[in-house]
Structure 1
Amino acid sequence: MNLSHHTAPTDQPLGVGILGAGPVTQAIHLPALARLRDVLEVRHIMDVDAAVAASVAARVGATSSTSMDELLGDPAVDIVAICSPHQFHADQVIAACRAGKKAVLCEKPFAMNAEEATRISAVSTETGVPIVVGAMHTFDPGWLAAEQNWGDLPETAHTIRSSIVLPPNARFEDFATEILTRPAAGRPDYSDIEVLKAALQGGIMGLAIHDLPLVRRFTPDFEHVEVLQARHVRPFGYAVSLRTPSRVIELRAVMNGTWKPEWTFEAIADDSALRIDFTPSYVQAGSAVATFTRNDGSETSSFGPFGHNGYEGEWRELAGLANGTRQAPPAQTLIDDLTFALAIAGATVESAARDHAAPAHTAGVSA
């Protein structure tokens, strides 16, 4: 993915336009951008609901519209953030690139399949417009500090684990049931295999996907991932065990009435381990803390917390890309992250379907 050919004046903020004015925009991006108002300024909010667009835009003194074309045609907009429903992401990313914007942020997933991802990559390369996918943990200063200090751990780690315990979050629950009509009583029928499959698909692509780029960084043979067991965890969550020829991967999540949220990533080798404690999603609460430990407990090193988290970090990255001071990530990295997530989601759903159809005493899906 080429560095953008555009440059921006350094004496005035870059203009931001946001497609979609829902919870992510309101609870995550606007607060992050408010802390960066010296370099970024929200200038246009688009939403298909005119009242929502106008209300959200009024909070930041921006223009509002119900038309993507109107936002992309706004000369005050330098950077476009795509926060719309995921099925629109690919076409909107491509349109933003073709509109000659300086950089594009797209929420996860930035495409629905590898073909869409390849098409996006080609347009980005052709236009020179860099794309950032909103995997906020990859921009968290705690993760970046770990990256600078982990030595050969990505090559030597044998166990990778992502563990998430959160209170209920309607956005994640809605993502998991987007494909289906939410039952009137709000209680999905998990004896229906299609409901179960949709819940697991949504869990991987709506929640696990935050950490899958991190998992892939520690999984050199990620093309050969195999699901050993996939279990749906009620009311919303999953327990998935995977392996590659050289790695064991554990993905766990549950959303319940917890009083103590926890979001951790671990990479364990024979002689050392890394643990990263992230702040909960939707919380503007500083960075993650990365801790390295030797197997004999003789040495422990911690990095963080730092003054900002990955939400703000991704906007800092976008500003750098737009003004030409940072290099965009290779297109293949974004494609590999997506295909890795899709492969895990697909294999998880297939495993759950097989176990669901198996006799009760051998079934591997339960709650």
Structure 2
Amino acid sequence: MTGNDTAAGILGVGIIGAGPVTQAIHLPALARLGDLFAVRHIMDADLAVAESVASRVGATHGSNVAALLADPEVDVVAICSPHQFHAEQVIAACRAGKKAVLCEKPFAMDAAEAEQISAVSKETGVPIIVGAMHTFDPGWLAAEANWGELPETAHTIRSSIVLPPNARFEDFATEVITRPATDSPDYTDPEVIRNALQGGIMGLAIHDLPLVRRFVPDFQDLEILQAHHVRPFGYVVSLRAGNRTVELRAVMSSTWKPEWTFEAISDEADLRVDFTPSYVQAGSAVARITRGGASSSHGPFGHNGYEGEWRELARLARGTAEPLSTENLINDLVFALAIAEASAAAATAEPAGAGA
């Protein structure tokens, strides 16, 4: 960081991975936070993409992670690369002495990698945020502050998502360069169904699973009641953990109106949170709590969860916020992996008596 930047309180940002999420979500969010951040370095495996995206913000570009981590202008690192690289890159950023790290979900491939990240974060003192943006949404935070005993009394938790394909929203936000290629899947292949269902849980449901876990802290006895893949991209999963029922539903279709809701229901009260679609940059969620026949509404607020997570990253980098519990991040990951693996197994299991 330069002396002038230090005086202005501006944190230099390095971004690893310049794909659609960086282009359509993080750069617009950072553009609204110019009093906190300046993008200094963008890295992508495709040098042409890195150069093009960096030119939008006047940043250095490159195709080498080590060069970005060695850049003295980079104070905080955002890791937006393919998820199989997340663990090694989070660890490298911590060891490079950066002030804080934001990693897109999932931040590790398994619990062992997550434990290693946790150990390195504690060893180096570098705080980590995982990009489950809904946990930083001011609408959700208002719900937490006002829901009373609902986490102890809720019997049903539901996440319901209806979205058009990401490209539609990305086009609203920016001109995206090089989207990943997609193939026509063979839905007669059980392995395709398994991978699609796991991908849906770890790519979409994972945004809400940390919210679910606020109501299901103990998930050791998790039981899948039903699990189905919804074409072309979606899922219907019902599960039970203790005395709580959790319903996860998602469908992606260009003909449906976007809707993203989270609900928690008890005999005495219920919560409904309506989130805005991520790419639209349309502000916060709105939370409604109903108790004893009376309802209270919270929101909308002035920013969404993506901007919220960057604001929290600034506080962590400056030492004005308590680091998030890495144990909690590990448990969130283990919870998501358990649901993804059990759902995929249930969806592809042969019916009883098959082949007899």
Q: What TM-score comes out, normalization by structure 1 length?
A: 0.90
Give the secondary-structure state (helix, strand or coil) at the position aligned to 1:317: helix
Residues 327-338 of structure 1: pairs in structure 2 closer than 5 A:
327-338=322-333
1:340 matched to 2:330? The reply is no
**Counterpart code for 2:144:** E
Determine the structure 1 residue equivalent to 2:240.
243
Aligned residues: 341
**Residue by residue, what CA displacement relative to the aligned partner does 1:144-172 show, whole Å, maximum 9, x if unpaired?**
00011111111110000000000122599
Q: 2:252 aligns with which of 255, 268, 277?
A: 255
**Counterpart code for 1:324:** G
**Counterpart code for 2:216:** T
Distance 1:69 1:53, change over 3 A: same
Q: 2:104 aligns with which of 93, 103, 107?
A: 107
1:226 matched to 2:220? The reply is no
Determine the structure 2 residue equivalent to 1:308.
303
Determine the structure 1 residue equivalent to 2:194.
197
Q: Which runs of 5+ in 2 are unaligned?
A: 170-179
**Residue by residue, what CA displacement relative to the aligned partner does 1:150-209 show, whole Å, maximum 9, x if unpaired?**
11111110000000000122599xxxxxxxx987xx431111000000100100000000
Aligned equivalents of 2:353, 2:30: Cα separation in 1: 50
Distance 1:336 1:246, change over 3 A: same
Residues 1-367 of structure 1: pairs in structure 2 closer than 5 A:
9=6, 11-169=8-166, 186-294=183-291, 298-355=293-350, 359=354
Aligned equivalents of 1:313, 1:122: Cα separation in 2: 26
Aligned equivalents of 2:239, 2:163: Cα separation in 1: 22
Q: Cα RMSD between the aligned structures?
A: 1.9
**Residue by residue, what CA displacement relative to the aligned partner does 1:98-123 show, whole Å, maximum 9, x if unpaired?**
00000000000000000000000000
**Residue by residue, what CA displacement relative to the aligned partner does 1:58-95 show, whole Å, maximum 9, x if unpaired?**
10010001100000000000000000000000000000
Do 1:193 and 1:356's aligned partners in 2 also have CA atoms closer than 8 Å?
Answer: no
- Percent identity reads 72
Aligned equivalents of 1:10, 1:286: Cα separation in 2: 30
Give the secondary-structure state (helix, strand or coil) at the position aligned to 1:222: coil
Do 2:25 and 2:278's aligned partners in 1 also have CA atoms closer than 8 Å?
Answer: no
Do 1:221 and 1:246's aligned partners in 2 also have CA atoms closer than 8 Å?
Answer: no
**Counterpart code for 1:193:** P
Do 1:263 and 1:277's aligned partners in 2 also have CA atoms closer than 8 Å?
Answer: yes
**Counterpart code for 2:58:** G
Distance 1:136 1:228, change over 3 A: same
Distance 1:107 1:357, change over 3 A: farther
Aligned equivalents of 1:49, 1:145: Cα separation in 2: 41
Q: Which runs of 5+ in 1 are unaligned?
A: 1-7, 173-180, 361-367
Give the secondary-structure state (helix, strand or coil) at the position aligned to 2:260: strand
**Counterpart code for 1:50:** L
Q: What TM-score comes out, normalization by structure 2 length?
A: 0.92
Determine the structure 2 residue equivalent to 1:175.
none
Distance 1:309 1:182, change over 3 A: closer
**Counterpart code for 2:99:** K
